[in-house]
Amino acid sequence: METDKKPNPKVMILLLMVAIIGGSLFSIIWPVAYSIIQARTVLGDMQPPAKASKEERGEYYRAAMKKAQDNKLEGDLIPRTARNYADWLEFDCRNHSEAKKAYLKCLELGDKRDGNVRTVQADALISAAYCDHNLYFANKGKPPDPQIALDAQKQQIQAAKDLGFTGDVNDVERQRRTLEAIATFYCDNGKPAEALKYIDDAIAVAKKNHATQATLALCQIIKARALAGMSKNDEADKLFRDCVNIADTTYGAGSNASELVIRHYADDLVRDGQVEHGNKVKEMQDDFSTWESG
């Protein structure tokens, strides 16, 4: 006579553990996967055609933003599409006033309980402050408030912590850019000593994480501006020469990177009241040899 076999307790426990772990992984992975599928279905790859004109790019970003809102896309997709449109206004159109409005609109979109949403909004907040920076350099407005960047930095750090991304390469790069923004805005407000604290940290992060040489040079130019603002012109000019040498050595003499370094330093000096010195720097764009003997 056959007897019923009793379930093996070890097998039952193992199956239960597999079910629990599988369910936990599914609950974590599915929202991410669903968001990706949803974005692909509604928005495609979120990039306009490579050969699109400026106007076509703008229309693409406007349409993507409308699609995201009409379809009530979840996660950070709505604020991200709004951020893309604001970037178009700022970088393609150089319309700083309208771009600032668009960046600030991002703060009203998305669920603030979502760490990704808070990250996009913090980035948008800093970008809005950079619009003030650009308007200030064009003599069309007041300098940006450094507290805006400081508040955004706190939001970025907390969001990264909530998401478990602290120390992630993207988080580290974001923090470097934020440190640069804080230093820049302090310089705009005539507080170079305050700026120096933050730009030194940004330079350290850039070196530690092997940033591109162009990034490092432009980061150090902010420090040169701060030093010049503290009447340490010899030290500032030496750092400026080092930055141009970095760009020339890496990308070639007269490269776009070298020209950008020179233009940034010259514009900074002029805006901070050292007009004669700044104009002299501008004249050196095609003849850096003059600075070699400095």
* Tens digit of each residue's pLDDT (9 = 90 or more) over 110-163: 999 999 999 999 999 999 999 999 999 999 999 999 999 999 999 999 999 999
Write the pLDDT tens digit of every residue in 182-220.
999 999 999 999 999 999 999 999 998 888 999 999 999
Q: What is the pLDDT of residues 14-59, one digit of tens each?
A: 777 777 766 655 555 545 555 666 666 767 777 888 899 999 999 9
Determine, yes or no, domain membership for 238.
yes
Owner of token pair 């619009």: 131
| Domain total of the chain | 1
Give the largest CA-CA distance in the chain. Answer: 108
Nearest to 281, CA basis, from 259, 249, 250: 259
Domain assignment present for 254: yes
Q: Do residues 233 and 280 touch, judged by C-beta distance below 8 A?
A: no
Contact 91, 110 (CB under 8 A): no
**What three-state secondary structure class fits 270?**
helix
Q: Give 177's contacts (C-beta < 8 A, 6+ positions apart).
A: 126
* Domain interval for residue 225: 212-294
pTM: 0.83
| Amino acid present at 160 | A
Report the 10 Å Cβ neighbour count for 69. 14
Cβ(181)–Cβ(129) below 8 Å: yes
Cα(269)–Cα(279) distance, integer angstroms: 8
Question: For residue 272, is it within any domain?
Answer: yes
Statement: residue 228 has pLDDT above 90: yes
101 falls within a domain: no
Residue 22 lies in a domain: no
Hey, what are 40's tokens?
């692909």
Flag whether 187 is in a domain: no
